[in-house]
Amino acid sequence: MYTVKQTSEITGISGYTLRFYDKEGLFPHLNRDGQNRRLFSDEDLHNIETIQELREMGFSLAQIRSYLTAEEEGGMKRRRELLAEQMDRIRSELAAITRRMKKLQQAAEYYQVDIKGWANVMPADGASPVIFAA
């Protein structure tokens, strides 16, 4: 069994974050000592690795809780569903980011052309250029 400090040193996760994860229900079977201090098992350490991986994949704490609960219940099907749902969310986010990037590129191209055009009409003496209306 490992204290919060030891677990933090082993995993690289701060004690604050470990306590927060516990309050969020990510360690439903966490042991406590006689002074009510948290004690982490090897299984908890494994779950912390899983939590870190799921966080890197963009899972929310609620989704992680569902994933860990499904794991406890032997629900491989539910775990696959959660992974598939997250892949769908990320695909949607990627599509939205791609659309935003395309708009940004179009705006950058527009303003690059505008800047070049502006430079072409800039008087040599640096005075304000004359803008001609079409």
Please report the pLDDT score of residue 132 as a whole number.
Answer: 45
3-state secondary structure of 27: coil
Q: Over the stretch 53-71, which tens digit does the pLDDT of each residue have?
A: 999 999 999 999 988 888 6
Confirm whether 103 is domain-assigned: no
Domain extent for 30:
4-86
Confirm whether 9 is domain-assigned: yes
pLDDT of 110 strictly over 60: yes
CATH code of 70's domain: 1.10.1660.10
pLDDT of 107 strictly over 90: no
Spatial distance between the Cα atoms of 2 and 48, rounded to a whole number of angstroms? 13
Domain count, the chain: 1
Confirm whether 81 is domain-assigned: yes
Q: Over the stretch 12-39, which tens digit does the pLDDT of each residue have?
A: 999 999 999 999 988 888 889 889 899 9
Spatial distance between the Cα atoms of 45 and 38, rounded to a whole number of angstroms? 13
